[in-house]
Amino acid sequence: MLETFMREYVNTFNVFIAVYLVVYTIALLGNTIYGSLRILKDERLESLHNVLEHDFYYPISILIPLHNEGSTGIQTVENVLKQDYRLFEVVIIDDGSTDQTKEMLIERYSLKREYGRPIRYQVPCKPIREVYAGQCEGRDITLISKVNGGSKADAINAGINVCRYPYVLNMDGDEILQRDALVRIARAIMEDDNVIAVGGNLRISNGVEFKDAMPQKHNFGQNLLPDVQTLEYGRNFAGARILHNHWNANLIVSGGYGVFKKSALIEVGGYDTESMGEDFEMTLRLHEHYLSRKEPYLMKYVEDSVCWTQAPQSYGDLGRQRRRWQCGLIQTLAKFRHMIFNPRYGVVGMVMLPYHIAYELLAPTIMILGWLAIAFSLVLEDFNFPFVVVVYMIYVLFSIMLTALSYIGNCYRKGERVTVLTAVKILALGLYEAFVYRPFVSVVQFVAQFRLKKAAKTWASPRRVQINA
């Protein structure tokens, strides 16, 4: 009876995985082709029109939450101050740091405490103890010192309560906002009055040399783990999110780099301070809010507005990051399960959420089930080794091809040469991703599903490195 079960399991899984991979491959190919064509079209339009130069700019408050990140936080602020944008303020939130983060910022920017400054708690956050203010290079800088809220969401909510401008940009404390990023992302806001959120392109800063908040040189192929994440980010951002723009169905405006209409954030109650995936949760909550009320709105992704972020450099940090992401994914999908296959929520409910369940939530479980099917085949001495190798290698090579196209396309747009050595590095990294990196991440995500209640709601920043900026 056990042998019969194992044979039926293997046969059923073989059919399932074939269909599963075909659908996934078609989706990846469609995303990549559409994204590439869209980028080329936009660049042709860019060449026909002068860059927008308006006397009127949307004022933007740049929120930078920090927790025990003084030195990297100062580097982030220094690069933000180099923005080619006329009207913005920098709001730094010190979320109960136990080191010298607050003192370092006060000294660096000669900030003065503002006594009696009125604060409207329009969204929930832990109490704000002190507010400091000053200027640097003609830009207003505000420092909030607050009780630790245990999450980035709580810190961002504090920034929303204090900032002055109608649009807020969320960043992490280890990032470099490219000098032209605000100008490019503001265009998306100018294009339509219904825009409530715009996500930018997050790229990996490890190994990149910067000058005046602009990338100068990418030492690609020198650090294995960050480099494979560079390819992963490029593939995921460049293809899928551009296609999702067409449907107004982007599910994540990244917490690492996203601009929001402040009134929209306040209207839905601010960020969920209990969420482990606050950016995904907020994006879905905005979709739910506007779709249920049948109010017009747009959430966009802008590929050429770039913010550079640090990738984990060790498997320990990577595991903690992906475990938290998976817990946040599970938590958020459970919270908004009423939207799944609900025609009231349009493409988001009928297409995007089911796809997210199949190819994000269940992907690690399916990989584990695949390994189990192979184990059963070995026990039954019915293991078709050549077939398994051929099918998996076709999938791996296709994935490498899409990754290479995304990376090479990006180099082409920037006028950079792609050498034979770079192509060899991409191939090697693709194989490393398929046989080492992706299995590791899948195991981490699979285990995370059973540790959801134990996931700590604390700041969990990876170890930072000094960026050559």
Query: Please, what are the averages of pLDDT over each run of 10 residues along the chain (469 residues)?
Result: 72 73 70 59 48 66 92 90 93 93 94 90 95 93 95 95 96 93 90 92 90 85 86 74 84 92 97 92 97 96 91 93 92 96 96 91 86 75 66 75 74 71 84 89 91 58 55
Q: What's residue 291's pLDDT?
A: 97
What is the C-alpha separation between 167 and 175, in angstroms, rounded? 19
Say if CB 95 and CB 459 are below 8 A apart.
Answer: yes
Q: What is the CATH number of the domain that holds 116?
A: 3.90.550.10
Structure tokens at 131: 């507010």
| Domain, as residue range, for 467 | 1-469
Strand 60-66 to 167-171 pairing: parallel
Q: What's residue 467's pLDDT?
A: 57
Say if CB 178 and CB 71 are below 8 A apart.
Answer: no
Say if CB 141 and CB 44 are below 8 A apart.
Answer: no
What is the C-alpha separation between 239 and 233, in angstroms, rounded? 10
- Reduced to 3 states (helix: H, G, I; strand: E, B; else coil), residue 296 is coil
Angle at 45 between CA 40 and CA 47, to 5 degrees: 95
Report the candidate in 469, 463, 426, 466 with the shortest Cα–Cα distance to residue 313.
Answer: 463
Strand 195-204 to 88-95 pairing: unpaired
What is the C-alpha separation between 283 and 68, in angstroms, rounded? 27
Structurally, how many domains does the chain consist of? Answer: 1
Residue 222's Cβ-side half-sphere holds a number of Cα atoms within 13 Å equal to: 8
What is the C-alpha separation between 276 and 458, in angstroms, rounded? 9
- Alpha-carbon dihedral sign for residues 333, 336, 341, 346: negative
What is the C-alpha separation between 75 and 58, in angstroms, rounded? 25
Q: What's residue 251's pLDDT?
A: 92
At 227, which helix (H) or strand (E)?
Answer: helix 224-238
CA 27, distance to chain mean position in Å, is 20
